Amino acid sequence: EVQLVQSGAEVKKPGESLKISCKGSGYSFTSYWIGWVRQMPGKGLEWMGIIYPGDSDTRYSPSFQGQVTISADKSISTAYLQWSSLKASDTAMYYCARPILDCSGGSCYPYYFDYWGQGTLVTVSS
């Protein structure tokens, strides 16, 4: 059974750093991309970026480039989302999700998300 288990809720102060995690199991972790999605309080879903743990190829949405860092440790099947200096506006629920991989066109691309983590609530407040 495919599972994505995220780390627990965090409460931080502005300016602090943070790294949250997403552990994959039940599938070959290095063969699938892992994406991160933000959901601010009462708002919609925002695609942040995505990483391929097999070779650490990472892509970011322009809105999040330079604001967060996505990484992965394939030895422990875990992806990470980190901030070096949190702001109050980073307060949100963060989901990791695994997209299905489509190789029908010769090259392989991640597509829609078929598995999601349970979410990690990050609260940034002074």
Partner 1 sequence: EIVMTQSPATLSVSPGERATLSCRASQSVSSNLAWYQQKPGQAPRLLIYGASTRATGIPARFSGSGSGTEFTLTISSLQSEDFAVYYCQQYNNWPLYTFGQGTKLEIK
Which residues lie across from 109 on neighbouring strands? Answer: 102
DSSP character string of 1-67:
--EEEEPPPEEE-TT--EEEEEEEESS-GGGS-EEEEEE-TT--EEEEEEEETTTTEEEE-TTTBTT
Q: Does 111 bind partner 1 (CB under 8 A)?
A: yes
Residue 24 makes contact with partner 1 by CB under 8 A: no
Centre a 10 Å sphere on the Cβ of residue 69 and count the other Cβ atoms it contains. Answer: 15
Q: How far is the CB of 121 from partner 1 (least distance, A)?
A: 11
- From first CA to last CA, the distance across the chain in angstroms is 40
Going residue by residue from 79 to 98, which x/- string records binding to partner 1, judged by CB under 8 A? ----------------x-x-
117 binds partner 1 (CB under 8 A): yes
Query: Which region among 8-16, 18-26, 78-86, 110-118 touches partner 1 (by CB under 8 A)?
Result: 110-118
**Range 37-56, binding partner 1 (CB under 8 A):** 37, 44-47, 50
CB 38 within 8 A of CB 92: yes
List interacting residues with partner 1 (CB under 8 A).
Answer: 35, 37, 44-47, 50, 59, 61-62, 95, 97, 99-100, 109-114, 116-119
